[in-house]
Amino acid sequence: MSSSIFLRSRDVCMLERDWLDFGFALQDAYPGAQYERILDRWNKPEDIWQMPDPPDYPHHTHLLDTSVGPGASVRMIINPDWRREYYKLYGWYGMPEDQWCWDWPAPPPPSAIFRLGGYIYKEPVPHPSTGDITFYGENKNKDHMAQAGRFFRLLSKFTTNKKNLVNVRVPSMEVTVPVGSSSGFAPSWCGHHAIEWTRQEPDRVLFYARAGFGIRPTAEVEPFTQPPQPKAKKTRKKA
């Protein structure tokens, strides 16, 4: 993305259900968007290294349809007409000049990249792996800036970074400061389902840091529940 810079990025702690719900909302907001998993050139060389034909990576309509798990990366391509144009890249990152791999230009901005999280670690206390979301667009492009704002306002419906969340010491769970205060802690966006998962046990935390800190909801946080589904209208029987 040589013509782009990232406009906005957030670190997130979201479980699979958070990603699933956010993905459905993205489908409604961007009905023509495509999703593809980002290739791991080092760990899956059979996909791209000197194969006779370019790899076949289909685009999907939901970010979790890419069949990837926590820790993987998914790209959201907002332009519905974009298609890959493959070419052979020789000497990639210091490889011998006679070796090549399949490559292709990055999709046009705006776009977004999701590094999924949600894998549950058990030590030193139960905590999910974190992820991040970055929205890309052209520098000083007002339309892209507006789309970035719209994108993250949508994410804010599924995450929060301040409502009754506190930083705690691990493993004592001693409360230090509220999340979102001027304490020097970076903003941490927690998914609603991740918060609910943390509430279920007193030793669970979000955004665990090796320095011995994590995030927990306070007693004032209301449990997350799905919005009520519309009831079917009853029809009166004719006498």
pLDDT tens-digit series, residues 72-113: 889 999 998 888 888 888 876 666 777 777 778 888 899 999
Residue 233 or 27, more confident: 27
**Using CA atoms, how far apart are residues 22 and 188, in angstroms rounded to an integer?**
17
Global pTM? 0.81
Bond before 110 cis per omega within 30 degrees: yes
CB contact at 8 A, 17 and 149: no
Tell me the three state secondary structure of residue 160. Answer: strand
Range name among 5-19, 124-138, 147-161, 216-230 with the lowest pLDDT average: 216-230
CB contact at 8 A, 67 and 37: yes
Tell me the three state secondary structure of residue 163. Answer: coil
**Using CA atoms, how far apart are residues 121 and 24, in angstroms rounded to an integer?**
27
Mean pLDDT of 188-210: 92
**Of the candidates 86, 96, 82, the residue with the CA atom closest to the CA atom of residue 52:** 86
Residue type, 76: M
Report which secondary-structure segment, H or E, holds 25: helix 16-29
Residue 230 pLDDT: 52
Mean pLDDT of the chain: 82
Residue 1 pLDDT: 44
